Every structure is written in structure tokens, then in C-alpha cells.
């Protein structure tokens, strides 16, 4: 099961715990660590895995990192291709995994709206939106040949609000970055960028303290914060009911090229 | 209290403004965020905001300007949450329509007020109805282009009545709409004050759709067996009904009756659970239960059979072929199965059932299926979850079709496989006077003497009874052969060896008969035309040569010899006894083969 440490992964983990209770989920968690994540995410990840006694595989694109891959040097597009997509395909191959369960939702992004719950990938991990298996009722076809794989998205039909309501109802632990507090941020127009991992600064630029929170979590440079005073899950839910912007608006990677997520997914991005 | 969820599917042709309607529902209910709107503005061709782009996701579609697959969209109001399955309108995409409708409770049928009810409108409504939808919102769009006239709207409503008659049990709500401006989509229109009904959204928020799965008998397919120390739980989703600790339930296929000892859960033990909860059950007795088994109500168990009549929506470029093995996924089990008969194909232009021998991409038909293991099911009309299944191609692994069980039939398959092994059809083909009738009688006598159940079907004799009135045109000759094939198949099913002797000159129809019969032996009764003409047992060649019988096989109508007959008898070189013995040997070899083929319910077929 892909575990990105974010709120959707936290919900997935809880669903897996419940599904197999009282046994533990019979699969390991896989985290693709780009090395550009928030340190709070890594701490949370290690704590949860230890508490639940689950096997955690943290995989990084060691070779690309050694060659100096970073969002600052490569740009976000190429960086994602190397440190996320590349690392994911590498990890799936190394583990011999023929299925990977992920927390992606169809409401997140346009190209995901047509994603299947069981999404077939060829032996290179590629997605072909034109030849997907039809999915009727709740009958899923998980049959594959050797070398091929299936990505499974159990949260396909959940919305962002559903996720938060479930977190509230089930009292699921989440990374504190989702809650508002004063944090040092680089303020660039409407965007708030975290200074963690030392992104290149504009001349004379300095982090300033802003009361903000993360609406979705990824690498520090590509995850913009939003100005917010929501300090509890209930606050977040009422904030979401009023909000006029989508959750991935601050995600740099979705917008770097028109139709860009679809392109990434064709290549094997989750 | 979580909001009630309503699932919709949309239908309408590319130009009816379906995507605009959805875009409008999302936009007016606040389901589109500002940054998404900006991105739409960037992607539109002429700068004007095209709401349709909200729903048309993929780049290939933008280039073509049409929707090509099923896209799911989400929005909610204070009263309900909605999931829309947006499916394309063009007719080659029946498969997407069916996919979108399979999970929906309400169908939005869209039409252009200027065009009224088109054949396509009828198709869409009918497919949604076949997939089990009983609530329809008929959206008459583009009312601005007909001057907002009430008589146009009423005319369309009347036009639709003929469709309604075909859709038993369905309820229709008609709304006049201008999707691009929003009239009657969310807010009532000020430009059509003659219309007093609720807007599209208001109707969707209030239409009662509560599924009554809880009132139905208990059914739970087992997905997974959870094992821990001293613990064994059977996990799955309750698809209908409810179950409580202490209840007696029945396990299928073992038919063991056991009681529910515990319903453990992450939050503590439950006393009761109901559809659509996913739970695990502990039973009070050690019984053999594995993935694919079904736990069910003891007084109201599911039907159990290997033979079904089903409605099929075919979704592959490779046509559905009778007698070809497919994998069928039904609830949590996968079984091997095959279509033994294709009854009809639906003609979507007039909703009539037409005879068919195969089903192609986007065809909808009725078939009889046989599975290698029993399915535990209910008719689709009664339960969408236990009555539905998909076809998976065993070679490509693709989902190639969807099926809805219409009727569970008397278990012919298991009876044939257990009590009466299939018989054999021996099909003697060849020119007139080649020796077919003589040979068939010789074979009949030998098989009868050896204790077989055997029957003769002589072409000339059949023409005096079953096929009386048929001419010797190609069409009627084929019809004659099909009738003989039909009777032979029935006989074979009851373990009888049927010996057919008929000229049957056309290869195609012989092969068609072959495809329907499990044990089919084609015998080419071969003698050169000169020999046959010399023999001329019935004096027919002479009359044909004299021009008295036009279209006589071998003279002025072709005889297409079999390409690979199981047996060939050269009656000009062999004695009748030699030829007959060859056929008897072939029949007995086939019988022993097919009886060896028979395997009892094998765990190998369960995957």
C-alpha cells in the first residue's frame, strides 16, 4: 500500500486496519521518499509505522539524488519524473509488487476523474486512458499477466470533504502540518513557500512568520501553504465548506503544463 | 448525520449540451473552485468560458471536442451528496452508458428542444432502464431556441410517451431547461412561468431513491478469510439484508447451516450488521468456508444453478462467441463459463429482439450461459448485486462484457454432466446418391446393436414433416439444415446419438450447426459426381440434366465439401461395412473422450 503520509493515506491505513481486524494488514506500506519532504512528515511516518507494528518500505531514487536531482535544479516536471515516478516504478519492481493500493481520488484533478478504481498498468508501469477496463457495479477485474500491475484506488469516489469528515468521525491521527500555526514562509504573491530544504531565494528575500496550514502534503517546495486559522479537524471542515479554491491549487506540479497530470500518469505517476 | 448519497448517470448526444448541464449543476451549487474555473478559461478555444470543459477531462477529448469515456464528478448541497457518471452520447459507446448506469439510481436524459425525441434518446433511456434505473429526469434543453414555448415542451412530453410504455416500472420527470444560462437547472426560470415544477437540482435533492437492500434476505459473499491465533473470521460486504449474533445462516456451496457467534470490529463487537456494511463474521462451528462462498439467509436462500438466461452488454471488439470459454466474475468468485446459445440481439433503432449468432462491440443480447461451478444468485431485477457479473477474456484478461441474470434455469448443465453424458451428432454430408442414407442405416444398426441410444434424421424424411413447404433455394436449404441441427442438438443433450443424413451443401451453415453441438462428427460421404450420377438412385440427376430440377447440387448449384471432416468415407472404393465401421469407431472414441472430460465440481475452477 502506497503511503504518502498525507490525510488520504491516513484514511487508507485506517480502512486497511479495519478490514483485516484483528489481524494486521497483510501488506507492507511503501513510502516514496524524495528527500524533499517536511521533516514533520518523516517523523509522523516512523512513529505510526512503529505504533501499529507495520512493515514500512521507504524508497528513494538513490541514483538520481546522487546525480543531484532537485526541484531547484531540474524544475518541478523533471524532478517529479526522477524522484517520484522513477522511484515508484523502481520500488514496485524491486519488491515484485503486482498491485499497489493508493489514496488518489477522482475529485482531485481532471485526468483523475476518468481513472478506474482498478487501474491497469502495462509492464512499463504506463497508464493508457484510452484502453481502460470498463468497471460495472462493484465488480473489479484484477487479472493481469506477469510483469503487469494494477493500481487500486479505494478512495476514488471520496471527496476532500468526505476525507475530513471521516478523519473526524474516526479520530484518525494526521500530520500536524494540516493544522494552522505560525510558520516561517517565503511569501511570493499569493503563494506561501516553505523555506525547508533551502530553495533558492530572491534577492533580499527572507522567511516571514505567517499563520498558515497545509491543505495537501508533498515536497516542501511544491506544497504551498494556505493562510488559515483552522487548528482542529472541525475548523478545517467548516473552512472547506466555505472555501472557493481547490485543494491542489497550491500544488506547483499540477499546473506546470496544460494537461500535465495526465502526462505524468501516462508515464507512471501515481 | 452523514448526507444521503445519490448517484446519477447522464445520457444525451454530443450536441444536446449534456456537459454544459453538468457544468452548470456544479457551478451553481458551488462545486467548481475558482482556480478550476480559471484553468477552464485558459483551456477554452475562444476565451469564452465553456462549462463543458469542467467535465471533459482528457486532452485527447479536448482536441476532438467530445467526451470519450465515463467521467465521475462530485458535488453536494445541503440536502444530498451527488456522484455524476457522465457518459458519452454517441451510439458506439453503449458500453460506457452501461458502465455509468450500473451504479446509478437516477438517469438524466437530455434532449434538444428543437429536435425532440431522437432514436438516440430512446436508446439511452432503454439502456439505463435495462441496467436497473427506474427514475428518469428528462431534461428538455435549449428552450431559448424554441422561444420558451410550452407547446413545444408538451409536444416532446407526448412524443416520449411511446418510449415510456416500453420501460416497465419507470418514473419520468420532465423539465424545460436552458443549461447554458441556468434556467430551471438550479433556480426556477423567470422566462418560462408556465412551468411550476421543481428545478433539476431540486428534484434530484428530493426524489426518493432509498434502496431497500435492508429489507431483502441476507447475502454476503466471502472476500477473505481472516486468520489470527485462535481466530477465524469471514470478511466481506453484506450486499443485502442484515445479520445478527445468534442468527442461523447457510453456507454456499457446502449448504452447511451454522450460527453467527460474533461480529467483531475495530471499534468493538457488533450485535447486528446490515447492507452495505463490510464486516467479518465468526461462526459457531468449524465449517469449510473460503473466498467466493456465499453466506445467506436459511429460509430465503439464493438460487443456485449452472445454467442461466442473461442479458448481456458486449464491450469488446472481439465478438461474443458461443461455446468459447470465458471467465465470469460474479460477486467474489471467478468461474469458467460459456455461452451455449445466443437467443437474440437488441435492435436499438426499434427496441426489437432480432435473431443473432454472435454479439459484437456495443451489442446487447440475450443468451443462455453455462458455468463450471454453481453461482448463487438472484435475478438482476430483484438484486443488482447478486444478479450481475462480468465476462473476462481468459487470454487478454480484459473485461469484455457485462451480464445481468434474467432467469435461473433448470440445471441442465449439471444434469448433463452428472447423469447423462452428452450424446453425439453424426452428420453425413455429400452429393445426392453418394450413399448417405444407406450408410446412415448401416451405422444406426451397428450402434443400436452395441447398446447405444440412437436416432436417425434423414434429410428426405425431414422435408416431409419438419420442413414441409420449404423450397430448394439457398435460404430454405439453410433453414432446413438449421432445423435438423436444432433437433440433433436436443437429442445430443439427452445422450442420444443422432445420425443425420442430408446433402447440406453449404459449409457455412454446417459450421454453424457444429458450433452449437458439443460432440459433432462431420462425415464426408464422398463419391465422384460421375459415380453418383451413374447410381442416380432416385432418378434426380436425369431430371436435373433435363432441366426439370433447377438448382440441383452438383449440376447447377455448388457442393462445398468439408475442409476437415472427422471421417471421410469414399463410397466408390470402400464397402458399406468398412465405411460404417469407421464411423462407429469414431463415435465410440468421441463418447469415451467426452465422458472422461467430465469432472465433478473441481476446486481448480475456483480462482
Contact B76 A259 (CB under 8 A): no
CB spacing of B58 vs A262 below 8 angstroms: yes
Residue A93 lies in a domain: yes
Of B69, B98, B398, the CB nearest to A136: B98
Overall average pLDDT of the B218-231 stretch: 92
- Pick the catalytic residue: B504, B564, B592, B602? B504
Residues A202 and A139 in one domain: no
Residue A221 inside a domain? The answer is: yes
Q: pLDDT grade, residue A258 (50/70/90)?
A: very low
CATH number at residue A67: 3.40.50.620
- Please check whether residues A73 and A126 belong to one and the same domain: yes
Alpha carbon of B259: minimum distance to chain A alpha carbons (Å): 20
A20 and A111 housed in the same domain: yes
Sign of CA dihedral A62, A65, A71, A76: negative
* Minimal CA separation from A60 to chain B, in Å: 30
- In the predicted structure, residue B602 carries a pLDDT above the cut 50: no
Angle, helices B119-130 vs B94-102, to 10°: value is: 40
Flag whether pLDDT at B43 surpasses 70. no
Residues A31 and A79 in one domain: yes
Check whether residue A24 and residue A88 sit in a common domain. Answer: yes
Task: State the nearest Cα–Cα gap between B57 and chain A, in angstroms.
Answer: 5
Are A150 and A117 part of one and the same domain?
yes
- B35/A246 CB distance under 8 A: yes
Residue B472 has pLDDT above 90, yes or no: no
Domain end marker among A159, A189, A204: A159
- Amino acid A55: pLDDT: 93
Residues of chain B with Cβ-Cβ distance to A262 below 8 Å are 57-59
Same domain, A63 and A121: yes
Enumerate the β-bridge partners of residue B225: B234
Q: Which segment of A126-130, A238-242, B145-149, B276-280 scores lowest on mean pLDDT?
A: A126-130
Rounded to whole angstroms, how far apart are CA atoms B450 and B455? 14
Number of domains chain A contains: 2
Are both A98 and A155 inside the same structural domain?
Answer: yes
Residue of B nearest to A244 (CA): B33
Question: What confidence tier does A267 reach under pLDDT thresholds 50, 70, 90?
Answer: low
A127 and A57 assigned to the same domain: yes
- Within 8 A of B58 by CB-CB distance, chain A residues are 110-111, 114, 129, 259, 262
- Per the domain annotation, does A263 fall within a domain? no
Residue A98 maps to a domain: yes
Q: How far is CA A164 from CA A10, A31, A159, A167, A244, in A?
A: 11, 22, 9, 5, 17
Of A133, A138, A157, nearest to B83 by CB-CB distance is A157
**Please, which pLDDT band fits residue B356 given cuts at 50, 70 and 90?**
very high
pLDDT of residue A176: 95
Domain assignment present for residue A226? The answer is yes
Predicted local distance difference test score (pLDDT) of residue B606: 28
In three-state form (DSSP H/G/I as H, E/B as E, the rest C), the secondary structure along A123-155 is CCCCCCCCCCCCCCCCCCCCCCCCCCEEEECCC
- Whether residues A136 and A26 fall in one domain: yes
Per-residue pLDDT tens over the stretch B370-385:
998 899 999 999 899 9
Residue A262 lies in a domain: no
- Contact list, A138 vs chain B (CB under 8 Å): 103, 237, 385
Q: What is the pLDDT of residues B97-149, one digit of tens each?
A: 898 899 999 999 988 999 998 887 888 889 999 999 999 999 999 999 999 99
Please name the member of B59, B315, B384 whose beta carbon is closest to the beta carbon of A259.
B59
In this predicted structure, the answer to whether residue B430 has a pLDDT above a threshold of 90 is yes
Is residue A127 domain-resident?
A: yes
Q: Check whether B155 has a pLDDT greater than 60.
A: yes
Among residues A125, A159, A193, which one ends one of the domains? A159
- pLDDT given at position A244: 59
Residue A207 within any structural domain of the chain: yes
Structural domains in chain B plus CATH codes: 4-206 (3.40.50.300), 213-297 (2.40.30.10), 304-417 (2.40.30.10), 420-595 (3.40.50.300)
Number of Cβ pairs < 8 A linking chain A and chain B: 124
pLDDT at position B282 over 90: yes
Predicted local confidence at residue B416, as pLDDT: 42
Cα→Cα distances B342→A255, B364, B514, Å: 51, 11, 14
**pLDDT at res. B89:** 56
> What is the phi/psi pair of residue A101, to 5°?
-100, 130
Listed residues A139, A159, A179: the one ending a domain: A159
The whole-angstrom separation of Cα B535 and Cα B431 is 11
A180 and A153 Cβ atoms separated by less than 8 Å = no
Interface touch B99/A135, C-beta < 8 Å: yes
Per CB-CB distance under 8 Å, the chain A contacts of B74 are 106-107, 157, 159
Which residues of A fall within a CB distance of 8 Å from B235? 19-20
Compute the distance between CA of residue B456 and CA of residue B447 in angstroms, rounded to an integer: 11
How far apart are the C-alpha atoms of A215 and A209, rounded to whole Å?
18
- Chain B contact for A266 (CB, 8 A cutoff): no
CA distance A233 to A211: 16
Active site residue B189: no
Tell me: do A152 and A139 sit in the same domain: yes
| Chain A residues with beta carbon closer than 8 angstroms to that of B388 | 136-137, 139
Q: Any idea what DSSP says for residue A109?
A: S
**DSSP state letters, A14-79:** HHHHHHHTTSPPSS-EEEE--S-B-HHHHHHHHHHHHHHT--EEEE--HHHHHTT--HHHHHHHHH
Distance of residue A246 Cα from the nearest chain B Cα, in angstroms? 5
- Separation CA A156–CA A128 (nearest Å): 18
CB contact under 8 A, B33 and A245: yes
Shortest Cα distance from B113 to chain A (angstroms)? 30
Is residue A94 domain-shared with residue A52, that is, in the same domain? yes
The domain of A96 spans: 7-159
Amino acid at each position: 500500500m502506497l503511503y504518502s503520509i498525507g490525510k488520504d493515506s491516513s484514511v487508507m491505513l485506517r480502512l486497511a486496519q479495519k478490514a483485516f481486524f484483528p489481524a494486521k494488514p497483510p501488506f507492507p506500506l511503501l513510502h516514496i521518499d524524495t528527500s524533499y519532504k517536511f521533516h514533520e512528515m518523516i517523523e509522523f511516518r516512523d512513529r505510526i509505522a512503529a505504533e501499529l507494528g507495520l512493515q514500512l518500505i521507504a524508497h528513494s531514487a538513490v541514483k538520481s539524488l546522487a546525480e543531484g536531482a532537485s526541484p531547484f535544479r531540474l524544475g518541478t516536471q523533471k524532478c517529479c519524473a526522477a524522484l517520484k515516478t522513477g522511484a515508484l516504478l523502481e520500488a514496485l519492481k524491486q519488491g515484485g509488487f503486482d498491485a499497489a493500493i493508493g489514496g488518489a481520488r477522482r475529485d482531485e484533478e481532471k485526468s483523475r476523474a476518468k481513472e478506474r478504481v482498478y487501474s491497469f498498468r502495462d509492464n512499463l508501469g504506463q497508464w493508457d486512458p484510452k484502453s481502460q477496463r470498463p468497471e460495472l457495479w462493484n465488480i473489479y477485474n484484477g487479472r493481469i499477466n506477469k510483469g503487469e500491475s494494477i493500481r487500486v484506488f479505494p478512495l476514488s469516489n471520496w471527496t476532500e470533504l468526505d476525507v475530513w469528515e471521516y478523519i473526524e468521525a474516526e479520530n484518525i491521527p494526521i500530520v500536524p502540518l494540516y493544522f494552522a500555526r505560525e510558520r516561517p514562509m517565503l511569501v511570493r504573491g499569493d503563494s506561501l513557500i516553505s523555506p525547508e530544504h533551502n530553495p533558492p531565494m530572491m534577492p533580499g528575500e527572507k522567511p516571514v512568520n505567517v499563520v498558515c496550514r497545509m491543505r495537501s502534503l508533498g515536497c516542501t517546495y511544491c506544497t504551498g501553504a494556505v493562510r488559515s486559522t483552522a487548528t482542529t479537524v472541525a475548523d478545517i471542515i467548516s473552512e472547506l465548506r466555505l472555501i472557493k479554491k481547490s485543494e491542489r491549487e497550491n500544488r506547483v506540479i499540477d499546473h506546470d503544463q496544460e494537461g500535465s497530470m495526465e502526462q505524468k500518469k501516462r508515464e507512471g505517476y501515481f | 448525520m452523514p448526507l444521503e448519497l445519490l448517484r446519477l448517470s447522464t445520457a444525451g448526444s454530443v450536441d444536446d449540451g449534456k456537459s454544459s448541464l453538468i457544468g452548470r449543476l456544479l457551478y451553481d451549487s458551488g462545486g467548481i473552485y475558482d482556480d478550476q474555473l480559471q484553468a477552464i478559461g485558459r483551456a477554452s478555444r475562444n476565451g469564452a468560458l465553456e462549462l463543458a470543459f469542467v467535465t471533459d477531462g482528457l486532452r485527447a477529448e479536448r482536441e476532438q471536442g467530445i467526451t470519450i469515456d465515463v467521467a465521475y464528478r462530485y458535488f453536494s448541497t445541503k440536502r444530498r451528496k451527488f456522484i455524476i457518471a457522465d457518459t458519452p452520447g454517441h451510439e458506439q459507446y453503449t458500453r460506457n452508458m452501461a458502465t455509468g448506469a450500473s451504479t446509478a439510481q437516477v438517469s438524466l436524459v437530455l434532449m434538444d428542444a428543437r429536435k425532440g425525441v431522437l432514436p438516440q434518446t430512446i436508446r439511452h433511456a432503454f439502456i439505463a432502464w435495462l441496467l436497473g434505473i427506474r427514475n428518469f429526469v428528462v431534461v428538455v434543453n435549449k428552450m431559448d431556441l424554441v422561444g420558451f414555448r410550452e407547446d413545444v415542451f408538451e409536444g416532446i412530453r407526448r412524443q416520449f410517451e411511446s418510449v415510456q410504455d416500453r420501460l416497465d416500472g419507470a418514473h419520468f420527470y420532465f423539465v424545460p431547461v436552458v443549461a447554458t444560462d441556468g434556467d430551471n437547472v438550479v433556480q426556477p426560470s423567470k422566462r418560462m412561468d408556465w412551468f411550476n415544477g421543481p428545478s433539476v437540482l431540486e428534484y434530484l435533492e428530493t426524489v426518493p431513491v432509498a434502496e431497500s437492500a435492508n429489507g431483502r434476505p441476507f447475502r454476503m459473499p466471502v472476500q477473505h478469510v481472516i486468520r489470527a491465533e485462535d481466530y477465524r473470521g469471514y470478511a466481506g460486504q453484506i450486499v443485502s439484508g442484515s445479520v445478527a449474533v445468534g442468527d442461523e445462516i447457510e453456507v454456499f456451496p457446502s449448504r452447511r447451516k451454522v450460527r453467527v457467534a460474533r461480529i467483531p470490529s475495530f471499534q468493538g463487537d457488533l450485535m447486528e450488521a446490515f447492507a452495505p456494511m463490510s464486516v467479518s463474521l465468526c461462526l459457531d462451528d468449524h465449517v469449510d468456508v473460503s473466498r467466493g462462498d456465499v453466506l445467506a439467509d436459511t429460509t430465503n436462500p439464493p438460487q443456485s444453478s449452472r445454467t442461466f438466461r442473461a442479458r448481456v452488454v458486449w464491450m469488446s471488439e472481439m465478438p461474443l462467441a458461443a461455446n468459447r470459454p470465458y471467465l465470469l466474475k460474479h460477486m467474489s468468485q471467478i468461474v469458467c463459463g460459456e455461452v451455449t446459445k445466443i437467443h437474440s440481439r437488441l435492435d436499438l433503432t426499434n427496441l426489437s429482439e432480432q435473431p443473432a449468432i454472435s454479439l459484437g462491440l456495443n451489442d446487447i443480447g440475450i443468451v443462455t450461459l453455462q458455468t463450471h461451478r454453481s453461482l448463487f444468485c438472484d435475478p438482476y431485477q430483484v438484486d443488482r448485486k447478486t444478479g450481475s457479473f462480468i465476462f473476462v477474456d481468459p487470454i487478454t484478461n480484459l473485461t469484455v462484457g457485462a451480464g445481468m441474470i434474467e432467469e435461473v434455469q433448470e440445471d441442465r448443465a449439471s444434469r448433463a454432466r452428472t447423469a447423462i453424458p452428452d450424446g453425439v451428432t453424426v452428420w453425413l454430408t455429400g452429393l445426392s446418391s453418394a450413399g448417405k442414407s444407406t450408410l446412415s442405416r448401416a451405422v444406426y444398426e451397428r450402434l443400436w446393436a452395441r447398446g447405444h441410444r440412437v436416432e436417425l434424421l434423414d434429410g428426405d424424411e425431414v422435408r416431409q414433416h419438419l420442413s414441409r413447404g420449404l423450397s430448394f433455394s439457398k435460404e430454405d436449404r439453410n433453414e432446413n439444415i438449421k432445423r435438423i441441427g436444432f433437433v440433433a442438438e436436443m437429442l445430443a443433450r439427452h445422450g442420444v446419438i443422432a445420425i443425420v443424413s442430408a446433402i447440406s451443401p453449404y459449409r457455412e451453415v454446417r459450421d454453424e450447426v457444429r458450433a452449437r453441438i458439443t460432440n459433432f462428427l462431420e462425415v464426408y460421404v464422398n463419391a465422384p459426381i460421375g459415380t453418383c450420377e451413374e447410381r442416380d438412385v432416385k432418378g434426380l440427376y436425369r431430371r436435373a440434366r433435363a432441366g426439370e430440377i433447377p438448382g440441383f447440387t452438383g449440376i447447377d448449384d455448388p457442393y462445398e465439401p468439408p475442409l476437415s471432416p472427422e471421417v471421410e468415407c469414399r463410397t466408390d472404393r470402400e464397402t458399406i461395412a468398412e465405411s460404417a465401421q469407421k464411423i462407429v469407431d469414431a463415435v465410440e472414441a468421441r463418447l469415451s473422450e467426452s465422458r472422461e472430460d467430465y469432472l465433478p465440481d473441481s476446486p481448480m475452477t475456483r480462482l
